[in-house]
Amino acid sequence: TFKIGVLGLQGAVREHVKALEASDTEVSVVKRVHELAGLDGLVIPGGESTTMRKLMDKYDLFDAIKEFAEDKPVFGTCAGLILMAKQIENQAGPHLALMDINVKRNAFGRQVASFEAELKVKHVADNFVGVFIRAPYISEVGPDVEVLSEYDGNIVACRQGNYLTAAFHPELTDDNRLHQYFVGMVKEKAEKVPV
Ligand code: GLN
């Protein structure tokens, strides 16, 4: 089996663990650098991106995750997506800067801060319920990024090579299809024989 870690510093950790366990993988919670060893993939959950970044720095996980991501799949949801972006609107610098995307935080405004919407997610589902909680959206993508889902004309999920992101919270419903898609990415990568 394949081993996937869920970054457990803050946010919706347990829900991701459950969704992955239901998707035929071994799952562990990562709070320290040594816990990244032996993992085939990593999930960065939703929560609050600035807080999560501070905790990453505190536990020396920032560089360790960047290094891990050089050849392992990473799936970021909501705050996790913000942490993976190369550019964040109205913010000086990015965090992990893994994906060639520009994100806007709390992008759906105050009135509709949290809502659910049925989404088409390419390769995954035509009827995926997205739970948005003070969610970001992706305002620009580079040429190597595949857009997987849009809501109201805004990009809310995409993939770039080994990296997958969603602006919504796929771990908060019983629908595990997006997690299964990520598990598929992890398997594909782990089975590739190194040259
Ligand atoms: N608004 C949060 C941020 O900017 C993200 C919200 C979430 O992860 N649900 O980090």
Domain positions in the chain = 3-191
Q: Any idea which fold 3-191 has?
A: Rossmann fold (3.40.50)
Asked whether the ipTM of the predicted complex exceeds the cut of 0.85, the reply is: yes
Coil, helix or strand for 28? Answer: strand
- Positions in the chain short of pLDDT 50: none
**Ligand 1 centroid vs 1 CA: distance in angstroms?**
32
DSSP string, 124-178: TEEEEEEEEES--EEEEE-TTPEEEEEETTEEEEEEETTEEEESS-GGGSS--HH
Answer yes or no: 158 catalytic: no
104 close to 50: Cβ distance less than 8 angstroms = no
pLDDT at 110: 67
**Ligand 1 centroid vs 106 CA: distance in angstroms?**
7
Q: What is the pTM of this model?
A: 0.96
